[in-house]
Structure 1
Amino acid sequence: MIPETTACRSAREVARAYCSPALLNHSVRAYLWAAGYASAHGIAFDAELLYVAAMFHDIGLVREFDSHTVPFEDAGGHVAWVFAAGAGWPLERRGRASEVIVRHMWDEVDVARDPESHLLAFGTSLDISGRRPDALPASLRAEVLDHYPRLGLGKEFLACFRDQAERKPDSSAAECVRTGIADRIAANPLDTHGA
């Protein structure tokens, strides 16, 4: 289910080098939830583009790429653009990689206009907040969680968002903190897998 292209393997290598094990597994799960949802609902998408975006969607939360001037999703979009340039992607595709990452924090993305952003938003909201777990078969959820365990993601992610909110009060992370992400993370049904 994970695309095996040179760009995908390289993106995973970069994410592994900079992300904690919990954040890396979250990135892989975000892709797998998105791809599973697309398969179940007949949504055509660019697997390589979505996978690369998934690998970098939270890289703006890690120390090396955290920007004091822009929200974490914008910083991650910049990293993806630079990565895509190095991978030889054309200018438009580099922009799409960045755009998908930025849009994953939007409240809604129209699937007909931008399936990759729509799918990444679905996958990340399921993995972080436990939103719409029944949109995927229980067997798929169990298989993915067995292969890519959560490793205390909720606590780590909440600490990252609280840090972002404190330093960037106008950011999307700050808005998430203000609107109760801590409660949503605490109630995430994915954290009960294997408990």
Structure 2
Amino acid sequence: MRIADVPRPDTAASRAALEIATAYHSPSLLNHVQRSWLWAEAFATVRGLTPDHELLYVSALLHDLGIVPEFDNNTLAYEDAAGHVAIALTAGAGWPADRRVRAHEVIVRHNWPEVDPAMDVEGHLLEIATALDISGARDGELPAEFLREVVTAFPRLELAAEFGSCVADQAERKPDTSARRLVDGGVQRKLRDNPLERILEG
């Protein structure tokens, strides 16, 4: 398994998602969302799942936009806010209404504790992919060489400190959202202890 084996969708929505993610994310968060897409596609391969690749890519690239100042919503959970950005972006790309709603659903569900793949394969894949990138969950399920290649191509930089701080801020300001559950569940410690933080050592 190699990065070269995972083709990046070349559609209007996919190109726009990358453009928006690049414009609004810090380098650490931009690398995080791109790694999340690659992990999601890799999990699809090893688990024999067949996602909608464009939907998965767009959702992965946009899933954390709700924590950046320009899209931070005063009351909504950050994943819900990001999902609405996805609706607007995909509307501009010509997606029909039901497909735009799917992008919102996938992004919201990535923060669920668990997503049944029989209900939402893209939501399931993004959920386990982001769990790997944030807390190191299921790191043994993907080939070690692929993990190293992806982290080399898209370094983690200051993700642990930056994302941990952003989610803590969300949890304080919006205690009824999933950010509070993540913080209470030790997300900042999990970020620091994630084995991907040390995968390139030695």
Above 0.5 in TM-score?
yes
Q: CA deviation at 1:80?
A: 0.3
> 2: CA distance between counterparts of 1:71 and 1:159?
16
Match of 2:72 in 1: 66
Match of 2:34 in 1: 28
**Residue 48 of structure 2 corresponds to residue 7 of structure 1:** no
Match of 1:154 in 2: 160
How is 1:39-50 mapped onto 2 (pairs within 5 angstroms)? 39-50=45-56
Q: CA deviation at 1:6?
A: 2.4
**Residue 57 of structure 2 corresponds to residue 51 of structure 1:** yes
Deviations 1:88-145 (A, max 9, x none): 0000000000000000011111111210000000110000111110110001101111
Give the TM-score taking structure 1 as reference length.
0.98
Q: Is the 8 A contact 2:16 2:89 kept in 1?
A: no
Greater than 4 Å deviation, 4+ residue runs: none
Q: CA deviation at 1:182?
A: 1.6
Gaps of 5+ in 1: none
Per the alignment, in what secondary structure is the counterpart of residue 70 of structure 1? coil
**Residue 115 of structure 2 corresponds to residue 109 of structure 1:** yes
Aligned-residue identity in percent:
53
Give the TM-score taking structure 2 as reference length.
0.95
**Residue 175 of structure 2 corresponds to residue 169 of structure 1:** yes
Match of 2:132 in 1: 126
Q: Is the 8 A contact 2:156 2:197 kept in 1?
A: yes
